[in-house]
Structure 1
Amino acid sequence: MLKLFKLFNNKRLFILLITLVMFIVVMGFSLGTRKSLSWPENFVRDTTGFVQGIFYKPAGYVAGFFEDIANLHKLAEENEQLKIVVAQYTREKAQYNFIQSENERLMKDLKFTESQKEKYNYDYRIAHVESINTEPNNSTLVIDIGSKDGVRPNMAVISTEGLVGVISQVSNFTSTVKLMTMMNANDPNSQSAIAATAIGKENATFGMIESYDPKTNKLTMNKIPPGDPIQPKDQIVSSGIGGLYPRGLTIGTVDSVKVGEFGLTSSAVITPAADFQDWKELIVVYTQERAE
C-alpha cells in the first residue's frame, strides 16, 4: 500500500515536471524570433480578426453616417457664413464705389477751388444738394449748409463747370439757391443781372447777363458797348462790378454776337458752362464781405 502511494506521488511529480518543461519550451518558442506563427496562433488571430470584422464594419458604417451628418451640418454653417461674407462684400463694394465716386468728385471740386483761390483769393465751402425744384417760375435747390456755416443771402453758388446761381434764403442748417435759369430781363422779381466780361479782354469787354431762354438753354448778354471786341468762343466770366457776384466766376462761352437795332449796343448769346442738372455737390463762394 505504501509502495502504491509512493508510486502515485512519483507519477504526479513526473506529470508536473513534464508539464513544466513543456510550458517552458512553449514560452521559449513563442518569445523567440520566428518568421511565421504557429497554427494555434494563426487560428486564434484569424478567429479574432473575423469576429472583429463582423462587429467593426457595421459600427464603422454607423460612425461614418453620423460623421457625415456632422460634416454636412458644418458645411451648411460654412455655407451660411460664406453667404453673409458675400453679401457684406457686395454691400461694401457698392459702398466703396459710391465713396470712390464721391471722392473723385470732391477731388475735382478741390482742384477747381484751389485754382480759383490762387487767382482771386476767395473761400469756398462744398455743400451737398438735398433737393431740386424745377418749376419754370421757381427754379431753386436746397443745399445742406446754412447760417451755422457762415452762409449769407446773395452769396454766389458754383459747380465745377461754372456759375449756378445765388443764395436767396438761409436757415440754420440749409440754404436755398436761386438758379441762373430764373433770369428774366422783363421780370423785376427774377434773378439779378450779372456784370460780365471776357477772359483776356477784361479791360475791353463788358456786358450784363440778363436773361435765360429755357427753350434754347442759352443766356443773353446785353448792353455790350459799341466797338467791344467780344466775339464767338470767348470765355465769359463775372466781372465783379456791382459786388453781388465775385469776379472771375465762369459763366459760359459766346455762341454769337448781334448788333442792336440802333447800333448803340450789342448782345451776345451765351452757352452756360453749368448744365443745371444731376448735381450732387455745389460750392458756395465766401467773399470776405459776405462771410462776415
Structure 2
Amino acid sequence: MFNWMRNKRMFVLMIVFIVFVAVMGFSIGDRKKLTWPENFVLDSSALAQEVFYRPAGYIAGLFKDLSNLHDVYKENEQLRLAAAAYARDSIKYNFIESENKRLQEDLDFKNRQKLLYQYNYIIAQVVAVSSNPYDATIRINQGSKDGIKPNMVVVTPKGLVGIVSRVDPFYSSVMPLTELNENSTSKPAATVLGKEKESFGVIESYHSDTGKLTMTKIAENDPIAPGDTVITSGLGNVFPRGMVIGKVDSKQVGDFGLTLTATITPAADFDHLTEVFVVENPETGESGQ
C-alpha cells in the first residue's frame, strides 16, 4: 500500500511538472527576459533531455555501425570468393595455354620431321620416371598394341631421349641417354649438322656430375667445333638419321693423340618430360635404317 502511494505521488509530480513546463512555455510567449525560476526550469528540462538523448543517440549509432559492419563483412566474403575464382580460372587458363603451346610445338616438330625424313612418329605420354639410380628408365603409355617395338628411338621436339628397352602390351620402358656408359651395347653414331659428310663420332657415355655427353672416335682432322649441333648419323641400324643429340661444348685430344673427343650438352630436357615421340621407319617398321 505504501509503495503504491509513493508511486502514485511520483506520477502526480511528473504530471504537474509537465503541465508546469507547458504553462511556462505558453506564458513566456514573446518575452525576451525570463525570471530566474523560468530559467531554472528551462535549464533543468534541457539538462534532462541531454541526459536521456545522448545515450539514446549512442545506442542508435551503435546499431547502425553494427549493421554497416555486417554489410562490409558480406562484401568482403563476396570479394574473397571472387578473388579465389579468379585465381582458379587464371591457373586453369595458364595451364591450358601452356599445354596448347606445347602440343602445337609437338605437331610442328612432327610435320617438319616428316618432310625431312620418311619416319612415322607415335606420340606417347610419360607416365613414370624411375627413381632407382641403377635402373633410371622412363615409362610411356604406348605398348605393343600400339606398334611399339624394342630398340625404337624416343625423341622430343628438342632432341634425342633414348631407346625403347622393354615393351608390354599397353606400356613400354625407355632407356634414356643419361644411362649411357662404356658397357652400353647401343650407342648413337653421330655427326655434325651441316658437316654430315665430314664429321663422325660415337656418343660414348653420359656424366651425371657434369650433365654432359662424351663423343669419341672423332678423326684428328674432323671439322667439329664448339657450338656445332650434333645429330645422329643413321649408321648402325639403330638410331635413325637426323635426330638432334645436343651442342658441342668443347673438343679435346683423345687417347694416344690419334683421335679427338668432344663434350656435348644434351638437347633434351630429361627433368621435364611430358610427351615424347617414338620413331618408326615406315620402310622397315623399326627405328633404324
TM-score bin, normalised by smaller chain? 0.5 to 0.7
Q: Which residue of 2 aligns with 1:198?
A: 192
Q: Which residue of 1 aligns with 2:161?
A: 164
Whole-Å separation in 1 of the counterparts to 2:81 and 2:228? 57
Report if aligned partners of 1:235, 1:253 keep a CA contact under 8 Å in 2. Answer: yes
Q: Which residue among 106, 116, 137 is the counterpart of 1:119? A: 116
1:132 to partner: Cα distance: 0.4
3-state DSSP of counterpart to 1:102: helix
Report if aligned partners of 1:205, 1:230 keep a CA contact under 8 Å in 2. Answer: yes
Q: Which residue of 2 aligns with 1:55?
A: none
Whole-Å separation in 1 of the counterparts to 2:269 and 2:93? 27
Q: Which residue among 138, 141, 152 is the counterpart of 2:138? A: 141
Q: Which residue among 210, 214, 238 is the counterpart of 1:220? A: 214
Q: Which residue of 2 aligns with 1:65?
A: none
Report if aligned partners of 2:216, 2:254 keep a CA contact under 8 Å in 1. Answer: no
C-alpha distance 149-266 of structure 1, shift in aligned 2 (>3 A)? same
Q: Please identify the structure whose Cα radius of gyration is greater.
A: 1
Whole-Å separation in 2 of the counterparts to 1:105 and 1:116? 16
C-alpha distance 91-148 of structure 1, shift in aligned 2 (>3 A)? farther
Q: Which residue among 101, 126, 134 is the counterpart of 2:98? A: 101
Whole-Å separation in 1 of the counterparts to 2:171 and 2:85? 34
Residue 243 (structure 2) pairs with residue 246 (structure 1): no
3-state DSSP of counterpart to 1:134: coil
Identical amino acids, percent of aligned pairs: 48
Q: Which residue of 2 aligns with 1:290?
A: 285
What is the TM-score with the length of structure 2 in the denominator? 0.67
Instruction: State how many pairs are aligned.
Output: 211
Residue 204 (structure 2) pairs with residue 210 (structure 1): yes
Residue 263 (structure 2) pairs with residue 269 (structure 1): yes
Matches within 5 A, 1:6-21: none
Whole-Å separation in 2 of the counterparts to 1:196 and 1:244? 12
Residue 182 (structure 2) pairs with residue 178 (structure 1): no
Report if aligned partners of 1:108, 1:160 keep a CA contact under 8 Å in 2. Answer: yes
Whole-Å separation in 2 of the counterparts to 1:276 and 1:233? 21
C-alpha distance 86-147 of structure 1, shift in aligned 2 (>3 A)? farther
C-alpha distance 191-103 of structure 1, shift in aligned 2 (>3 A)? farther
C-alpha distance 171-85 of structure 1, shift in aligned 2 (>3 A)? farther
What amino acid is aligned across from residue 276 of structure 2 in structure 1? L
Report if aligned partners of 1:180, 1:191 keep a CA contact under 8 Å in 2. Answer: no
3-state DSSP of counterpart to 2:257: coil
C-alpha distance 191-215 of structure 1, shift in aligned 2 (>3 A)? farther
C-alpha distance 254-90 of structure 1, shift in aligned 2 (>3 A)? closer
What amino acid is aligned across from residue 201 of structure 1 in structure 2? K
1:86 to partner: Cα distance: 9.4
Q: Which residue among 152, 155, 159 is the counterpart of 2:152? A: 155
3-state DSSP of counterpart to 2:101: helix
Whole-Å separation in 2 of the counterparts to 1:272 and 1:217? 8
Residue 253 (structure 2) pairs with residue 256 (structure 1): no
Q: Once the two structures are superposed, what CA deviation does each residue of 1:139-188 show, in whole Å capped at 9, x if it has no partner?
A: 11101111111111111101121001011111111111101000001x2x
